[in-house]
Amino acid sequence: MNTTFMSWVNESPLRKNIAQTILILLAIVLLGKAVLLFRQVNHVGVADNAPQNVYVNGHADAYLKPDTLLFHLSVNEEGKTVTEATQKSAEKINKAIAVLKANGVDEAQIKTTYYNVSDKHENINTPCAIVAPSVKMMSTQVVEPCSNVSSRIIGSIVSQSLEVRVKDLDKRDKIVADLAAIAVKIDGVSFTIFDIDAATADIRKEAIKNAKETAKKLQSQLGVDFGPVAGFSENTGGYNPYISARVESMAVDKTSNSMTPSPALPIGEQKVSVEVTLTYLIK
């Protein structure tokens, strides 16, 4: 019968082409099934053997009393020359540093954060030459006002800023008042914790304890057992209470000859938060 079928196919070129096409399609289908079966065999047991991770979060926070006052002081002095402006700036900065040291601030807690020397300019308005307009211009054209402005250097400006950390908070009000007495500007007053890592150690322990307690509950609820901790991550947050304190005037009122009251700088509390994530492997 096979001989009869082949003879029938060979009788016509069209029949021969149709038979070849059918055989090619059949081969493609069989090849596809073989590839699919091969992939299924290679993946048997992979999902069961892959490690299953569980991530457990723990949180803790506390309100701590700051132990350090942080602020910036700045000096801007002008002079006809760079030398004159630099001398004036140095004199005022040295006075400010002397005030800080007299109040117990260690030199290591005083740091220069900005120093700049720039030119002082003055704008000069020069009158334009007056030209009498013709009759035709007066009747057909609007004459714009003349402006001739130029600039020239008339001196120098020296600017310097210091970052100051005060650990003796009992002297905070006096320091601000003493700096005001020599006309030194103060900005960015805030309270912070000097050794924040040591301060957050106990809070971190509490967050880890919270995460482990949550892990125990999850084991019971899920009906599984966890292995030892396989991973750890931490996120610490908090904020510094900010006090907008800018002193620009003399502490002594020249008209009344009386002392300006020292600004009150309440310390408050600083909230410190710790968020931890523990990674467990399901046994």
* CA distances (Å), origin 41, targets 84, 148, 245: 87, 89, 73
Tell me what pLDDT residue 89 has: 94
Reported pTM: 0.58
Q: Looking at residue 108, what DSSP letter applies?
A: G
pLDDT of residue 216: 93
**Consecutive 10-residue averages of pLDDT for the chain (283 residues):** 62 71 79 68 50 89 90 94 94 95 93 93 77 55 64 91 92 90 89 86 93 93 89 75 40 44 75 92 87
pLDDT value for 43: 46
The span from the first CA to the last CA of the chain, in angstroms, equals 64
One-letter amino acid for residue 187 of the chain: D
- What is the phi-psi region of residue 67: left when phi exceeds 0, alpha when psi lies from -120 to 50, beta otherwise? alpha
Sheet arrangement for strand 226-238: 53-64, 270-282, 226-238
What's the pLDDT score for residue 251? 40
Count CB atoms within 10 A of the CB of residue 43: 9
Q: Which CATH architecture group holds 62-282?
A: 2-Layer Sandwich (3.30)
Q: Report the pLDDT value the prediction gives residue 105, as an integer from 0 to 100.
A: 93
Furthest C-alpha separation in the chain:
131
pLDDT of residue 12: 72
Q: What separation in angstroms does the CA of 250 have from each of 79, 119, 258, 261?
A: 21, 27, 11, 11
